[in-house]
Amino acid sequence: MARPRERNVVLLGAPGSGKGTQAERIVARYGLPHISTGDMLRAAVAGGTETGREAKRYMDAGELVPDEVVIGCVRERLAEGDTGDGFLLDGFPRTIDQAERLDALLADAGRGLTHVIQLDVPEDELVERLAGRRLCRVCGKGYHVVFDPPAREGVCDVCGGELYQRADDDEATVRNRLAVYRAQTEPLVEYYRGRGILHTASGGGKLPDEVFERVTEILDGAAS
């Protein structure tokens, strides 16, 4: 069980759903440490912990870090003092097995998740968001052909560099990424719905501020 005042949050959402934007706002409003899988693994490696050394072995070899090692990193991170009033997990868990292991390690610490927030955006809109992204080859500034276009098509406003589309942002690749997400991660929606802690924030056709209003309703206990 979660302790009083705790907000122990998992943020779920497909690529392009706005997880990064909403995570930043949750952290700023509620003061929760933002724990993403990549940041957590890098911190464990930099800290030279036993689990970090194990993770580094796989990362240096270009291999996926096994669940057992990732769970060890999660355990170490959640034991740190800044998580006492809660935390925001982003990018973990990704599978039912990881979710069950997370539940077990939290239970061992006398804790539990309080909110799982799903950012729900229709697939066609996700494709439009991701496939429309462009980056400057020179300075790296990002644009979007629909939502944030440059003054001159294909030219960076800042440095005049050429804009390009990342290989993994073409429509076919985007739809494949979304299919992988649906297959691997969407089962978590039903898992957490069964636990009674799933909440949905619709992101389709909405501005980030509008989505965050729903997120704050959920975290403040004003919405089911």
CATH number where 128 lies: 3.40.50.300
How many structural domains comprise the chain?
Answer: 1
pLDDT > 50? residue 2: no
Q: How many Å apart are CA 152 and CA 71, to the nearest integer? A: 47
User: Is 41 within a domain?
Assistant: no
User: Is 63 within a domain?
Assistant: no
Sign of CA dihedral 25, 28, 30, 32: positive
User: Is 175 within a domain?
Assistant: yes
User: Is 155 within a domain?
Assistant: yes
Which pLDDT does position 103 carry in this prediction? 96
pLDDT category at 30 given cuts 50, 70, 90 is: very high
User: Is 1 within a domain?
Assistant: no
Domain assignment of residue 187, given as a range: 7-33+80-219
- Residues carrying an active site annotation: 19, 94, 133, 166, 177
User: Is 45 within a domain?
Assistant: no
Element of type H or E holding 158: none
pLDDT > 80? residue 93: yes
User: Is 110 within a domain?
Assistant: yes
User: Is 129 within a domain?
Assistant: yes
